[in-house]
Amino acid sequence: IPPALAVLRGRILSFLAAPKGPGDAASYRYFPDGVVVSEAGRITRVGPAAEVLPTLPAGTAVDHYPDDLILPGFIDAHLHFPQTQVIASYGAQLLEWLQKYTFIAEQRYGDPVYAERQAAWFLRELLANGTTTAAVYGSVHPQSAEAFFAESERLGTAMIAGKVMMDRNAPPGLLDTAQSSYDDSKRLLQRWHGNGRQRYAITPRFAITSTEAQLEAAGALAREFPDAYVQTHIAENLQEIEAVRSLFPDSRDYLDVYDRYGLLGPKTLFGHCIHLEERERQRMAETGSVAVFCPTSNLFIGSGLFPMKDLARRDPPARIAVATDVGGGTSYSMLRTLGEGYKVQQLQGANVSALEAFHLLTAGNAEVLGLADEIGTIAPGRHADLVVLDARATSAMAHRMEAVDADLEEELFILMTLGDDRSIKATYIQGRRMHEREGTRSRSPA
């Protein structure tokens, strides 16, 4: 149960609109000494400390972070709950990486006791990294999604998740059938979608591991439950695209495979979207489907460079989210993810400003997930899911910050370039502090 009243004081930053570039001060609201008040988990007031504090009942406890930034909790739009022991697996690109590591590790999630233990660890790790909402893939086993949702409900976090649907091209221990995947997904969806803060994503893994019958079943579910999410992978790797071409000779391209089964739309999250063709990019944009950028994964599995600027300049612009893709991705930290995202765009001659990056991470991801009225900004009515950020968390960061003269954008850029979980001083869910960093700061010699 969220606290009746919770008050945080610090340097509060929240976005109002997508920044048009560096220096776009109209895109955000910043209180250098601000207070955010939440009641029963929801924000009721935000403003300068000098205005808000005197209106609070005498003796109200205040969590005061004078030097730190308070932002909306981070949102990770794509990662895999059963891959926490796949992360950092050596020497393979996508299809081999799946067979050699991922499809082995995911088989353990049929055991509900194991799945529950892993869910507890996983959600704790997200909170320790400042991530308060995520779109999560389970394993094929319904128990994995069940364990995940149960733990998320216990913590009070807003999560999107689904059991993976996969009925071919994987070990027998990891296969369902078109019918069982429909039945199991539907049961989970009916139990969890809109239950408190939990939401369901219909999750066909990708075209290679689903028969036509299973994609048909996924499409049927999406039609029956139009406000559920759909999440899958697309155009991550060139060999993957070749395989899809030979498995679906009647489809004109990869996106068309999903399109034919009615799987596109504003609630559909497509992981990767690296090697889409012109027609596919346009179709993504016009259907409002979301392209999810997973930089650490794309670099680590050697998949390629996400064409962010090309997607963004379409009419209408393609909707873009950012994500870790653990365990293809190499970090749970959305700060590190932004830092690698910046480098991926650099390699294509483009820049992502700190304002754009932090907007994407909070209000941007919330908007493309259709959750902007619940999370992603610090404003009355939103849930008090908050992160407290320390730009001086390490010796190297503190040293770098000595050269910064109260420049908010520079501080944010340092956070996304050098920051990780050590910069997460605290994480709040619905006004309750759920994570507090241990003393990592006093690492300088006495």
Chain positions contacting ligand GUN, by CB under 6 A: 80, 94, 98, 102, 205-206, 233, 236, 297, 325, 328
Residue number with CB closer to ligand GUN (236 or 367) = 236
Give the shortest CB-94-to-ligand GUN separation in angstroms. 6
Q: With CB under 5 A, what is the number of residues at the site for Zn ion?
A: 2
Residue number with CB closer to ligand GUN (232 or 365) = 232
- Binding partner at 89 among ligand GUN, Zn ion, none, C-beta below 5 to 8 Å by kind: none
Give the shortest CB-314-to-ligand GUN separation in angstroms. 24
- Based on the shown chain and the rule CB under 5 A, indicate whether residue 162 belongs to the binding site for Zn ion: no
Q: What CA–CA distance (Å, rounded) separates 134 from 102?
A: 20
Q: Return the amino acid letter for 341.
A: G
- Based on the shown chain and the rule CB under 5 A, indicate whether residue 339 belongs to the binding site for Zn ion: no
Give the shortest CB-75-to-Zn ion separation in angstroms. 16
Residue number with CB closer to ligand GUN (73 or 82) = 82
Of 261-280, binders to Zn ion (CB under 5 A) are 271
- Based on the shown chain and the rule CB under 5 A, indicate whether residue 325 belongs to the binding site for Zn ion: yes
- Binding partner at 425 among ligand GUN, Zn ion, none, C-beta below 5 to 8 Å by kind: none
Give the shortest CB-272-to-ligand GUN separation in angstroms. 7
Residue number with CB closer to Zn ion (102 or 417) = 102
Selected range binding Zn ion among 4-12, 29-37, 320-328, 431-439, rule: CB under 5 A: 320-328
- Binding partner at 236 among ligand GUN, Zn ion, none, C-beta below 5 to 8 Å by kind: ligand GUN
Contact flags string 51-70 toward Zn ion, x per CB under 5 A: --------------------
Q: What residue ranges bind Zn ion (CB under 5 A)? A: 271, 325
